[in-house]
Amino acid sequence: MLHHEKWRNNHDKLKHGRCMCECAIHTREKTHNWFGEKKYRLANFFDQWWDIYCQDPKHFISPEQYKAVADMRACRTAALGIDNYSCPQCGDITEVFHNCKNRFCPTCSWSDTMRWAERIKNNMFNMPHRHVVFTIPHALNPLIKRNEYELLNMQMKVSAGTLKDWMENKYGLRCGIISVLHTAGELKTFHSHVHMILSWGGIDKLGIIQKIKGPFVKYEFISDKFRKEYEARLTELFDNGKLQHDFSDKAEFLRFLGRINDKHWIINFEDPIDTPVEVIRYIGRYSKRACLSEYKITQMEGEIIGFSYKDYKSKDFFGHPMEKEKTLNFRDFFPLLLQHVPLPYFRLVRYYGIYSNKGHLPKEYFTHSEDTPVNWKAIQESETGEDPMICQKCKIDKVYTHTIVQRRTGLHKIIRDKLMDDSSFRSRRAFV
């Protein structure tokens, strides 16, 4: 039996009362009305087939990929620790499962996105913003995979720099940009693109905040500017010997660039959204998540897993992309998904322009909405309608009693020396 299955089975024998987790929403009767019902956990599929796959992997498995899978499988199990809080009168228990905090884990990524979205909205200009996407030709994918740090980093810098220069030259404004890198397309194939939240206005030379009227954008100009800057930097890497490639000489490299000049350097601007709160609701809560949401998993049958995706080549009567299902054997699914494990120490979310340094600007320039708690307790309460740290029967606070952790010798009960406040739910992990 797999170790993670042992952890879950051992814990099932001890389980009683109510169960909560730092990173997931647990409800009794209410389902999450945002995504719909989540029927499957990705960790369960990895528990069943990962050890078998590792015996004969289809592709090389990097250390960070091994770690990402191990973290996800241990997430919300006794391996990381389970804090127990009980009612002093009736003994009703709330269990708080520790999370792995790995960016690849779909559940931890979702809760982190929720907290980030609530936090970031008060740091945005009180003006309309636009969702912008920069996409590069797929012909560049082999080069990107061989030079991930350099080219993904370059893609984020050049796309943001293109918008900053365009806004300053056309409107005379210093804008704010929040940039998020995605490497996965709808089918989870490699598709490098950058989502950006762009302030539709900024600060002029006199230090006055200005909004832009109208949504008009000359796409061809921005796309061409982005392509030229990207290719110039790519050529510089080639000339300095810092680009890993298979080109025989500079002439072959330049012929390659010539072939991709007219290929899908797509820039997409969506219409301005009036307030930062609406922007974050629309963009922020999906842009920072893991590449596969568990709400999109449609089946797990034996060696097969299925997930839904949007087919942008097939449209319905209203012109919307049709939703379809893709099914894969675990031997094909694992390498497809693992190629999107974030690079270690690579910043997937970055801030440019005014948003990179806001400290010197007046507070009235920014949105001031009612502060929403972003800790675990507040998220649980907002979703379930109940405070998980208050006994619903006795109406008194529950108190910490002990922590259960899984070690090689079995389940162990430990008692912490110091109780922690609510902020601990955002960062604490058990010692195992």
The one-letter amino acid code at 381 reads E
CB 36 within 8 A of CB 109: no
Q: Which pLDDT score is estimated for 371?
A: 55
Q: Where would I find the beta strands (DSSP E) of 290-396?
A: 297-301, 304-315, 321-329, 349-353
Please tell me the pTM assigned to this model. Answer: 0.80
Q: pLDDT tens digits for 154-204?
A: 999 999 999 999 999 999 999 999 999 999 989 999 999 999 999 999 999
Residues of the chain with pLDDT > 70: what percent? 80
7-11, 319-323, 419-423, range with the lowest pLDDT: 419-423
Q: Give SS3 for 173.
A: coil
- The partner residues of 297 in beta bridges, in order of sequence, read 307
Q: pLDDT tens digits for 357-406?
A: 765 666 667 666 555 555 667 666 666 677 888 888 898 988 888 888 88
At which residue do the structure tokens 């740290």 appear? 389
At which residue do the structure tokens 């162990």 appear? 412
Taken in order 162, 342, 283, 264, the sign of the CA dihedral is positive
* Strand-by-strand arrangement of the 304-315 sheet: 297-301, 304-315, 321-329
Q: Report d(CA 265, CA 241) in Å as an integer.
A: 25
Instruction: Evaluate if residue 283 carries a pLDDT over 60.
Output: yes
Q: Report d(CA 8, CA 109) in Å as an integer.
A: 22
Q: Which pLDDT score is estimated for 24?
A: 35
Fold of 125-291+344-365: Replication Protein E1; Chain: A, (3.40.1310)
The distance from CA 104 to its chain's CA centroid, rounded to whole angstroms, is 8
Taken in order 196, 315, 289, 52, the sign of the CA dihedral is negative
What are the structural domain ranges in the chain? 3-104+375-427, 125-291+344-365
Q: Report d(CA 68, CA 311) in Å as an integer.
A: 29
